[in-house]
Structure 1
Amino acid sequence: MTSTMTEKIDHPTAPGDRLPVVVVGAGAMGTAWIRMLATSPHAVPVGVVDLDLDLAASAVATLGLDGAVVGDSVAEVAERAGAAAVVNVTVPQAHRIVNEQALRAGLPVLCEKPLAPTVAEALRQVAIADLTGGLLMVSQSRRYFNHLAAFRDAVEQLGPLAAVHAQFFHADHEPGFREQMAHPLLVDMSIHHFDMLRYLTDDVPVAVRCSSWNPPWSWFAGDAAATAEFELDSGARFVYSGSRCTPGLQTSWNADWRVYAERGAASWDGDDVVRVDAEGIGFDVPARPEGIEASLEEFVTSLRAGTTPQNEVRANVLSLAMVEGAIRSSERGGERVVVAELLEESLAQAITDEQRDDVAGVLRSWTSAADGIATPAWGSAPAAIASGGAQ
């Protein structure tokens, strides 16, 4: 049963309590988040926002969220529900609008990937976070697989890298906006794999060459297949191949990985098999939450402690730049795209696009895009939420 009261509902936000959050977006992914939150020890869904009020009410009723507030305004629902944070599970085109509304209302945000359709729009969100001082974290949930952590442990012991290879082949049917995207592989799935590369190696993408296409049997409107080669700052190469419409010999959703380095090689099947071919190198598989549950845990923990989480908005921009760089290269016939140049062009575009004077002022204050995403991240002061208030 949804709440129709206009008065604010008070929820405790002291350490150890479940953080009261509003979920924005009641579609399939939003429902998955709400279902997870309903039993989470870290947060509790106290409100659901969607432009389709019937859809939001249905999600609340189906999941038995008695007393949850439903509405179409982030700030209003958060105020009525006594929420201390927002989980943004809207379509990518709506991410910036929702994130800005929440941050301006004093609410930290955990936003589903991809952060934005373009790097320019992502930089505008960095500026909003700078302006408001609020935490904006992107939920790159595939960073949080325990066997990926074990694989990273092994890779760190292999010495300087020569090459990292990742292959992703699947055949998934997702009626809706994904099947209508111009680049459903690169934008909606490869963002995970590119971000995992950054987690795995802690290397920096320098340039990319990419080719994307749509196989004749594809049920996607846009390019569902691609190959890409990234130059990394260390001199190593990241070689990527993927498809969302390959019916046979499918890989894990996390892709299939190989790393070649000075001391040997390591592989991960994307699920639960990590192999190392090198002398004296071992690894441990942690036992901790994975996926969106782990992403939520880090978000809440960072709010409590006032620390900066993985994929705080500034850090996530480079993962998005890998996607946009690959798309640009493909659309230019495989031309080499330099990431630093893409970032600076995106900053100029962000300044042109931004209509709010205060946000535009922050963007203009940066000496470069690199400067903007390297500014001190959120978490330099104790989080206000730890003592009972929203950051």
Structure 2
Amino acid sequence: MPEPLRLVQVGAGGMGRAWLQTISENPDVVLTGLVDLDLDVARAAADEHGYSAVPVATSLGELADRVDAVIDVTVPVAHPKVSVDALLRGLPVLCEKPLAETVREALAMVAASEVSGKLLMVSQSRRYFRTGSAFAGQLAELGTIGALSCEFYKAPHFGGFREQMAEPLLVDMAIHQFDLARKLIGSEPVSVYCESYNPAWSWFDGNAAASAIFRFADGTRFSFDGSWCAPGLETSWNGRWRASAANGTASWDGDNAPVVELASGEVVPVVLPEDPEQIAGSLVEFVNAVRSSTVPQSEAHTNVISLAMVEAAVRSTTLGTPVRIAEVITDAYAEAVATVEDSTLLAALQAWPDVLKVVGLEP
């Protein structure tokens, strides 16, 4: 048996505590340090999860001699700094979603991964639901999907920064559904038309609701309709999904086993995998990828496309016109080349022959 992977976690807030619990339950990893700008918060979080002997610090550099990999659970605005620092120290990184606040920053992080030769993976936890994986498997059996839809209706009262954002639903939540659509369809998005709005009764300052339709390269249309101020008959946090294909239709309520009916009227039985779920699934795939030097499904290069879907949707709702995903990525690349100050990262960016091929949007 290989030795457990030594992890330093950066970030000890609410999500950081969830990761501490997940790390404690995985025998293939061991926590060797916890970093947070607030030492008292770090110490309290470590102690609460049985890590009283684990050192805490305010910077990764203080603990870098005792680590094989880093878990970045900081707030999104800090992801580029923390993850790039770890990568340039020669450490693979598992970063909480979103990879960054902008595609421009995400591309610089991808460059850091290339410079270091180390893995940068994003934890897209919605890819790790057993019922969702069963849904994906059944869609593959139905053949090419003509239409995929997701309805997302919740009424959370978060307080704090989410209720003050300009586009809280699209920017803070929708990447889960947009990213999952890529996995379910098995193709890449081409363009999006989106309208966001704020219902009269909303307790959000910004647009808490949105409707978007994406066109994918294989011809599939993916429609997303959601709201964060929709009390009553709420959907799962995963949303409610329906897919239509030539050979039948599949639906998934986001929590329970999916239902599939073939064109013949036959109902297809469901077999649920036994894989670990949510962030536990992310951690297992990350450890396996580090040990085997394989590419995980949410490796940073390809995850840029999911982030670009969000940025394109926001741009579309601002412009009132459809927006091409490729345009968002190429614009972000030009901005990255113009703004990245680190000469090593800049050289890596400039060496790319075609940013769309680098992230896998074009073959």
Name the TM-score, length of structure 2 as normaliser: 0.95
2:302: which partner in 1? 315
Alignment map for 1:1-391 (pairs within 5 Å) = 15-79=1-65, 82-278=66-262, 279=264, 281-333=268-320, 335-374=321-360
Verify the 8 A CA contact 1:205 1:232 in the aligned structure 2. Answer: yes
> What is the distance in 2 between the residues matched to 1:18 and 1:77?
17
**Residue identity opposite 2:230 in structure 1:** T
Name the TM-score, length of structure 1 as normaliser: 0.89
> What is the distance in 1 between the residues matched to 2:165 and 2:60?
26
Deviation at 1:219, TM superposition (A): 2.5
Percent identity over paired residues: 47
**Residue identity opposite 1:275 in structure 2:** V
Deviation at 1:218, TM superposition (A): 2.3
Verify the 8 A CA contact 2:257 2:270 in the aligned structure 1. Answer: no
> What is the distance in 2 between the residues matched to 1:134 and 1:49?
21
* 3-state secondary structure, aligned to 1:157: helix
Matched length: 358
Verify the 8 A CA contact 1:302 1:308 in the aligned structure 2. Answer: yes
Verify the 8 A CA contact 1:153 1:284 in the aligned structure 2. Answer: no
The CA RMSD measured in Å over matched residues stands at 1.5
Verify the 8 A CA contact 1:153 1:283 in the aligned structure 2. Answer: no
Deviation at 1:283, TM superposition (A): 4.1
**Residue identity opposite 1:90 in structure 2:** T
> What is the distance in 1 between the residues matched to 2:78 and 2:35?
13
Verify the 8 A CA contact 2:195 2:211 in the aligned structure 1. Answer: yes
* 3-state secondary structure, aligned to 1:250: coil
> What is the distance in 2 between the residues matched to 1:306 and 1:299?
10
Deviation at 1:273, TM superposition (A): 2.9
Report Cα offsets for 1:161-190 as digits up to 9, x if no partner: 210010011111223333332222112211
Evaluate the alpha carbon distance shift between residue 224 and residue 359 of structure 1 in structure 2; reply closer, same or farther with a 3 A threshold.
Answer: same
Verify the 8 A CA contact 1:154 1:282 in the aligned structure 2. Answer: no
Evaluate the alpha carbon distance shift between residue 181 and residue 17 of structure 1 in structure 2; reply closer, same or farther with a 3 A threshold.
Answer: farther
> What is the distance in 2 between the residues matched to 1:118 and 1:76?
29
Verify the 8 A CA contact 2:134 2:257 in the aligned structure 1. Answer: no
> What is the distance in 2 between the residues matched to 1:158 and 1:359?
43
**Residue identity opposite 1:72 in structure 2:** T
> What is the distance in 2 between the residues matched to 1:168 and 1:348?
34
Report Cα offsets for 1:66-101 as digits up to 9, x if no partner: 22111111122232xx11111001111100000011
